Amino acid sequence: MIQTIAFYLFAVLVIASAVMVIMSRNPVHSVLWLILAFFNAAGLMVLVGAEFIAMLLVIVYVGAVAVLFLFVVMMLDIDFAELRAGFIKNFPLGIAIALILLAELVLGIGAYRAGAIALGTPDGMAAPIVGVSNTEALGALLYSDYIFLFEATGLVLLVAMIGAIVLTHRKSAGDHRGQQDIAKQNRRNPNEATVMKRPTVGEGVEL
């Protein structure tokens, strides 16, 4: 009983906050609603017993991704009047896409009602490992069956990092702000680096 109530609470909140993500006029509010949606999705994950994924959602999505979004959105210079003008111009297209997606949803639910989908039927491979925590089971899978994909995903992240650095890192001649010159730091003489001042009472210090 309590589980059902919790499920409906989380599910309704996820959907409501997802709607608010796209409905709110202010992008900062959108991101805040998105964070609420992530939290509730994490709650749903806890309900189905996937506590590791729930923690991932909170730590990675809320803690890192959404906060990063927030920073980016706050740095944008957004003209709200222009946003609304685009809204009216693209309204017919938006309605068309919405209708297509609605038709799909109806079809999907219809197919589910007709018994074409059996939700949550685990096959042999997906059977839960008894006596092992979620984290251990996921780790065992990632580092054995899915080692190839795990490593390849690492390469994807590496390429993203290389790309970001290649496209943005600039070094002009004679400017070493980007790099630490350890030898130069070691060569520094304390006599050049610091100045002794003897301020007298009632007068300021002139540097």
**Binding footprint of another protein on the chain (CB under 8 A):** 104, 107-108, 110-112, 116-117, 121, 123, 125, 145-149, 151-153, 155-156, 158-160, 162-163, 166-167
Q: Tell me the closest approach of the beta carbon of residue 1 to another protein, in angstroms.
A: 28
- Taking the C-alpha atoms of residue 141 and residue 170, their distance in angstroms, rounded to an integer, is 41
Smallest separation (angstroms) from another protein to the CB of 106: 10
For another protein, the closer CB: 94 or 108: 108
> What CA–CA distance (Å, rounded) separates 11 from 25?
23
Nearer to another protein, 121 or 194 (CB): 121
CB of 87 to another protein, least distance (A): 20
143 and 150 Cβ atoms separated by less than 8 Å: yes
Q: Within 10 A of 63 (CB to CB), how many other CB atoms are there? A: 14
Which lies closer to another protein via its Cβ, residue 6 or residue 56? 56
Q: Which is nearer to another protein, 64 or 149 (CB)?
A: 149
**Cβ(31)–Cβ(78) under 8 Å?**
no
Contact indicator for 20, 1 with CB cutoff of 8 Å: no
Q: Which is nearer to another protein, 19 or 109 (CB)?
A: 109
What does the angle CA 60 – CA 164 – CA 77 come to, to the nearest 5 degrees? 75
Helix (H, G, I), strand (E, B) or coil at 144: coil
What minimum distance in Å lies between the beta carbon of 21 and another protein? 16
Q: C-beta of 98: minimal distance to another protein in Å?
A: 15
How far, in Å, CA of 94 to CA of 105, rounded?
16
